[in-house]
Amino acid sequence: MLDHLGIQVADPEASAVFYDAVLATLGHRRMLQYGPVIGYGSDHPRFWISPSETGDPARESHVAFAAADRAMVGAFFAAAVAAGAEVLHEPRVWPEYHEHYYGAFVRDPDGNNVEAVSHAPA
């Protein structure tokens, strides 16, 4: 549905360290960088981080990244925890969404709710 998404971050370097680690587990990499603006993806940049320009506190965003399988969700979660992310929800099935919804939720360095989700059966 989305072509790309960008979020603003307070500390681009800290956020880049976090997203470099967690997105690598899902098959994505840093593809483009223009100064402090960084685009991640596998075929073209679909997720962007850039410095906050408003001066106001950021509002929490929720970003869910697709994982091919449950092992990828686990790898994402492990990388996020190793990067110091706050754990919101450990990897598990969320039957309230659908029977195969398997996701893990963490907070990035700016407090955003970041998820990896697989919709594949176990």
Q: Per-residue confidence of the chain (122 residues) as pLDDT tens digits?
A: 678 999 999 999 999 999 999 999 999 999 999 999 999 999 999 999 999 887 777 778 999 999 999 999 999 999 999 999 999 999 999 999 999 999 999 999 999 999 999 999 98
CATH of domain 5-51+61-118: 3.10.180.10
- CA dist 97 and 25 (Å) reads 24
Buried b (16+ CB within 10 A) or exposed e, 24-37: ebbebebeeeeeee
The answer to whether the pTM exceeds 0.85 is: yes
Q: What secondary structure letter does DSSP report for 110?
A: T
- CA dist 120 and 68 (Å) reads 7
